[in-house]
Amino acid sequence: MTVAEGTLPLAPEHRRAEAPARTRRAPAQPAAAQAGAQPVSATPPAGAAVVARSAGSWHTRTFRWPAVRAFLLSTVAYPAVGIAVLLALWWLGGWAIANNDDVATFAGFAPAPAFAALGELVASGDVWGTIYPSLYRIGMGLLWAFVIGVPVGVAIGLSSALREVTHVPFQFLRMISPLAWMPIAVLAFATWDGAIVFLITVAAVWPVLFSTAQGVRRIDPLWFKVARNLGADGWQMLRRVIMPAIGQDIFAGLRLAVGVAWIVLVPAEYLGVTSGLGYAINDARDTLEYDTLAAIVVVIGIIGFLLDGLCVSLIKRFSWRQAD
Amino acid sequence: MSANVSVDYITHTFKGQPAPTLKDIALTIHPGEQVALIGRSGCGKSTLLHMLAGLLMPSEGCVHIRGHMVTRPSAKWNMMFQKPSLYPWMTVRRNAELGLLFAGHRDPARIDSLLELVGLADKAEANVQSLSGGQQQRVALARSLATSPELLLLDEPFSALDAFTRAALQDEVSRIARQAGLTLVIVTHDIDEAVAMADRVLIMAANPGRIAGEMAVELPAPRERASAEYSRAREQLMTTFDGLVGDGRSTAPQPAVATEEAQREAA
Ligand SMILES: Nc1ncnc2c1ncn2[C@@H]1O[C@H](COP(=O)(O)OP(=O)(O)OP(=O)(O)O)[C@@H](O)[C@H]1O
Ligand SMILES: [Mg+2]
């Protein structure tokens, strides 16, 4: 086939400047977010340039007060208020405990002793030795959940027969509390670590699996048709169409999985192991070091928050919906 | 080399349907011919086109393209849909080269010239979601042309576009097809589109879906929409269509097959 010179007359959409809408929206967004959303418009069409100039240079637009205020509010002020309220409630609780003679021995739970203990844990480096085994178990559990959940999820998303066959067993298994597997896990695995990883996997696999399956079912059927039409084989379909289409669903499932895995981790570490955050909590309780216990709880919260943030950035990374 | 399509008595009944959707469809399309397929909504145009593309197997009969029986989709006979259905996680360029990627031989220079051809050279690295509907459909066109198909099947590809963009794309696709010697089958609801693009218009009737008749459009390309010949051809097609499948008001049984000559006599 010979490719001729293009002589397509200018269609109306060429002339329709996309810039005005974007310019109007600009003050509400920080410049960085905009640049990220429009990586390709380095050379705007002629119409856009005129509009942009009339609306002022990038600098004057970026530093307009409403934009700065919105940015500061959402990234600094609102989170700060939330943290302050949480700390205030904690402090109030600690104050109430300290002033009640019946439970005054638990005064270590208050923020001040807890943060002092946290500082000590970090300074001595003990905290890393506590965090590392827990992160390892979480990581392994999530890895297995991923390795099992994604392929099975894709399969039941693609095959309605498989979906119907697995429906009852999966819903049945899903409803069993992961901790109810504990005795079986202890019997089945030679090491405590193995048992804990198993419990986390059992908890984390379902959100990954169901979210993946749902993502597959939501794929536009025309995407399959077009790819088949262009000559895609099964592997190419999986790699070029299905996986990119459901990336964000997989990581949304993983985000839920991190939540439940993190919840299961601590009680699972009450089992025979002598390391990890759950063990540290149990140990602190037995030795009556309530300030350390509270410090470990803070550590658990912070790591959970960071893991969640990691998942959110993965979801963003694999999201192709422009509205996101 | 272009395609010679022959459809041999296709009958198709969808699973769970009591009556066939298509019945005894037989037709031949010559190499390089541009054929329009018109008919009322639901008469089976898309179903027939899917069979030509190998995306759907008929319950009886078969389709041959250049002597080969169509049993599965191939990049040699490519279908374009009403929705552009681009992949939003790929750039414009990536979308356009997808067929070549599947075939394992990428050809950046070819993609460049195709994007040039559809007027999107400056958007090659753009996110497809930032394009207008007309631009997206042009990316889909470039994607269809990239694998050098012999046969291009178009299912109402321009119906979601505004009138100016539609007319421009009709002329452009028609021109590209003629230049490349492509065989074109275009399904449309639009009499104008049929007259603007086709050498021959097939008219389908419903219940069961069948070819009720056909009309040749003997106008030189490019077609001047404002010309008297164009208006005449348009009117003639309207009359033929009404004669074959009714004007929607009459419930009288329609003739199963009518030739162009018979229509001229009736008119
Ligand atoms: N997968 C399917 N299962 C059952 N029936 C179907 C299926 N696809 C289409 N049909 C039926 O077959 C008939 C023809 O459908 P088809 O999509 O080919 O019509 P069409 O001529 O393309 O209509 P339109 O102009 O509205 O696109 C319709 O009555 C439709 O309901
Ligand atoms: Mg249709």
Q: What is the pLDDT of residue B249?
A: 45
Residue B81 touches partner A, C-beta closer than 8 Å? yes
Ligand 1 atom with the shortest distance to the CA of B39: 21
* The pLDDT of residue B135 is above 70: yes
Q: What is the pLDDT of residues A60-76, one digit of tens each?
A: 555 678 888 888 888 88
CA distance B101 to A301: 46
Q: What is the pLDDT of residue A270?
A: 86
Q: What is the pLDDT of residues A177-190, one digit of tens each?
A: 888 888 899 899 99
* The pLDDT of residue B163 is above 90: no
Ligand 1 centre to CA of B43 (Å) is: 7
What mean pLDDT value characterizes chain B? 87
CA distance A213 to A215: 5
A22: confidence class by pLDDT, cuts 50, 70, 90: very low
Chain A nearest-CA distance from B222, in A, is: 13
Ligand of minimum distance to the alpha carbon of B154: 2
CA distance A269 to A282: 9
Q: What is the pLDDT of residues B20-69, one digit of tens each?
A: 999 999 999 999 999 999 999 889 999 999 999 999 999 999 999 988 89
Percent of chain A with pLDDT over 70: 80
* Paired residues of B10 in beta bridges: B25
**Domain coordinates in residue numbering, chain B:** 5-76+151-266, 80-148
Instruction: Say if the Cβ atoms of A6 and B98 lie within 8 Å.
Output: no
CA distance A143 to A137: 10
Q: What is the pLDDT of residue B79?
A: 92
Chain A, nearest residue to B166 by Cα:
A11
Residue B71 touches partner A, C-beta closer than 8 Å? no
Q: What is the pLDDT of residue B151?
A: 92
Q: What is the pLDDT of residues A149-195, one digit of tens each?
A: 999 999 999 999 999 999 999 999 999 988 888 889 989 999 999 99
Instruction: Say if the Cβ atoms of A8 and B83 lie within 8 Å.
Output: no
**Domain coordinates in residue numbering, chain A:** 65-109, 110-317
Q: What is the pLDDT of residue A212?
A: 97
Ligand 1 centre to CA of A302 (Å) is: 56
Q: What is the pLDDT of residues A198-215, one digit of tens each?
A: 999 999 999 999 999 999
Q: How far is CA A193 from CA A190, A199, B54, in A?
A: 9, 10, 54
A23: confidence class by pLDDT, cuts 50, 70, 90: very low
CA distance B80 to B261: 33
Q: How far is CA A48 from CA A21, A43, A188, in A?
A: 10, 9, 66
Q: Provide the 3-class DSSP secondary structure of residue A269.
A: coil
* The pLDDT of residue A51 is above 80: no
Q: Provide the 3-class DSSP secondary structure of residue A51.
A: helix
Token code pair at residue A167: 């429906």
Q: What is the pLDDT of residues A258-288, one digit of tens each?
A: 999 999 999 899 878 889 999 999 898 888 8
Instruction: Say if the Cβ atoms of A236 and B88 lie within 8 Å.
Output: no
B185: confidence class by pLDDT, cuts 50, 70, 90: very high
What mean pLDDT value characterizes chain A? 81
* The pLDDT of residue A31 is above 90: no
* The pLDDT of residue A248 is above 60: yes
* The pLDDT of residue A42 is above 60: no
Token code pair at residue A162: 């498989």
Q: What is the pLDDT of residue A50?
A: 39
Spatial contact of B77 and B113, defined as CB atoms under 8 Å apart: no
- Tell me, yes or no, if the pTM score tops 0.80: no
Token code pair at residue A6: 């293009």
CA distance A70 to B93: 36
Q: What is the pLDDT of residue A252?
A: 96
User: How many contacts (CB atoms, under 8 Å) link A and B?
Assistant: 117
First to last CA, chain B: 39
Ligand of minimum distance to the alpha carbon of B189: 1
Q: What is the pLDDT of residues B65-105, one digit of tens each?
A: 988 899 988 888 899 998 999 999 999 999 999 999 999 98
Instruction: Say if the Cβ atoms of B175 and A322 lie within 8 Å.
Output: no
Instruction: Say if the Cβ atoms of A11 and B122 lie within 8 Å.
Output: no
* The pLDDT of residue B137 is above 80: yes
Q: What is the pLDDT of residues B192-229, one digit of tens each?
A: 899 999 999 999 998 888 998 888 988 887 888 888 88
* Matching CATH number, A110-317, of 3.10.420.10, 1.10.3720.10, 2.40.50.140, 3.40.50.1370: 1.10.3720.10
Query: Nearest Cβ partner of A229 from B73, B130, B179?
Result: B73
* The pLDDT of residue A19 is above 60: no
Q: What is the pLDDT of residue A25?
A: 39
Q: What is the pLDDT of residue A20?
A: 39
Chain B CB contacts of A229 below 8 Å: 53, 55, 73, 75, 78-79
Residues whose Cβ atom is located within 5 A of ion ligand 2: B 46
Tell me the CATH number for domain B5-76+151-266. 3.40.50.300
Q: What is the pLDDT of residue A273?
A: 84
